[in-house]
Amino acid sequence: MLDSQRIPIGISQCLLGSPVRFNGGHKHSRLCTVQLGDSFSLVPFCPEVSIGLGTPREPIRLVGEPSQPRVVGSKTASLDVTDELHRYARKVADEQTQLCGFILMQKSPSCGMERVKVYQANGHPAQGTAAGAFAAELMRQHPLLPVEEEGRLHDPVLRENFVTRVMVYAAWQQMTADGLTARSLLTFHARHKYLLLAHHPAHYQRMGQLLANLSTTDLSAIAEAYFELLMVSLKKVANRGTHSNVLAHIAGHFKRVLSSDERQEMDSLIAEYRQGQVPLIVPLTLLKHHLMKHPDGYLHQQAYLQPHPPGLSLRNAI
């Protein structure tokens, strides 16, 4: 596993406790600073301050059509900072290519990832919502970058999914930085097979087919298509059914070395997990115990068995 503490994640600066909000306050998130901050390098950004708005300042909001809202002052309609926020987002996207994820402040007209209120010119809410201007442009520039809102990260399933995507994104960046080869791409895919199977079984099949003839195709084009499908696949949240399928596949590696009682115990725990009676960590722990007793080189390399920093304990609650 990569050293996660060196993996940089962008974050809305107010979430770190910095007094950069319009009223001079902050939105300090212990989830981000204490839990995730111990495992990753958090890189702060405040789009509104960065484009020259002071602190405290007049609040801004989204106005107009939800499909293309403008960002204007809540009291001064002539204060339009839409273009400035878009330019700053492009600057961050161009210059901060080391980022492997981004955590945004929800409901913000600059940083909200989705469902930000949009107002009509008369001050009444519009029918529909939008993303904040900075967030929308950042996601346009880097559509495969793992992005999530702080509020949604309090859901353990969404938090596990986000961190998984960050770790895989970082692993891909490391692999390509080391030099893309057919062998490195196949090794990467082999390591992430079970993780892909848990998130998107249909794409798992397609990705295998994509890599079938590397010697006769443009490697860089195949890698680009593979990475896009990879990140789209991982964005789909794995569920108890797909996890159970992967657990059963892994358990199958031990069918010749376990006793009938051990196989029955393993099958029972997987069934209990599928039915929601125990968290994922329970059958996984038993599988890892069997792997220690009966080493298997293929399984040892699987990212699925430990896709996140262990200290986050993300599979204890899903």
pLDDT tens digits along 20-44 = 999 999 999 999 999 999 999 999 9
Average pLDDT of the residues in 76-96 = 97
Asked if residue 288 and residue 210 are part of one domain, the reply reads: yes
Asked if residue 177 and residue 136 are part of one domain, the reply reads: no
Asked if residue 150 and residue 160 are part of one domain, the reply reads: no
pTM above the 0.75 mark?
A: yes
Asked if residue 278 and residue 195 are part of one domain, the reply reads: yes
Percent of the chain residues past pLDDT 90, beyond the cut: 95
Q: Which residues pair with 43 in a beta bridge?
A: 10
Longest C-alpha distance within the chain, in Å?
Answer: 75
Residue 8 scores a pLDDT above 70: yes
The full length of the chain comes to: 318
Which residue, of 154, 188, 205, is where some domain finishes? 154
Specify the pLDDT at position 248: 98
3-state secondary structure the chain: CCCHHHCEEEEEHHHHCCCCCCCCCCCCCHHHHHHHCCCCEEEEECHHHHCCCCCCCCCEEEECCCCCCEEEECCCCCCECHHHHHHHHHHHHHHCCCCCCEEECCCCCCCCCCCEEEECCCCCEEEEEECCHHHHHHHHHCCCCCEEECCHHHCHHHHHHHHHHHHHHHHHHHHHHHHCCHHHHHHHHHHCHHHHHHHCHHHHHHHHHHCCCHHHCCHHHHHHHHHHHHHHHHHCCCCHHHHHHHHHHHHHHHCCCCCHHHHHHHHHHHHHHHCCCCCCHHHHHHHHHHHHHCCCHHHHCCHHHCCCCHHHCHHHCC
Asked if residue 145 and residue 163 are part of one domain, the reply reads: no
Residue 113 scores a pLDDT above 90: yes
Tell me whether residue 17 is exposed, middle or buried, using C-beta atoms within 10 angstroms of its C-beta: 0 to 12, 13 to 18, 19 or more: middle
Asked if residue 145 and residue 219 are part of one domain, the reply reads: no
318/316 Cα distance (integer angstroms) = 6
Which residue, of 154, 176, 197, is where some domain finishes? 154
Residue range 273-318, pLDDT digits in tens: 999 999 999 999 999 999 999 999 999 999 999 999 999 999 999 9
Asked if residue 99 and residue 247 are part of one domain, the reply reads: no
Asked if residue 238 and residue 133 are part of one domain, the reply reads: no
Determine contact, residues 40/48, Cβ cutoff 8 Å: no
Asked if residue 217 and residue 139 are part of one domain, the reply reads: no
Q: How many domains does the chain have?
A: 2
158/160 Cα distance (integer angstroms) = 5
Asked if residue 163 and residue 106 are part of one domain, the reply reads: no
Residue span of the structural domain in which 22 resides: 4-154
Residue range 177-229, pLDDT digits in tens: 999 999 999 999 999 999 999 999 999 999 999 999 888 789 999 999 999 99
Which residue, of 128, 154, 180, is where some domain finishes? 154
Asked if residue 291 and residue 175 are part of one domain, the reply reads: yes
Asked if residue 173 and residue 150 are part of one domain, the reply reads: no
Residue 77 scores a pLDDT above 90: no
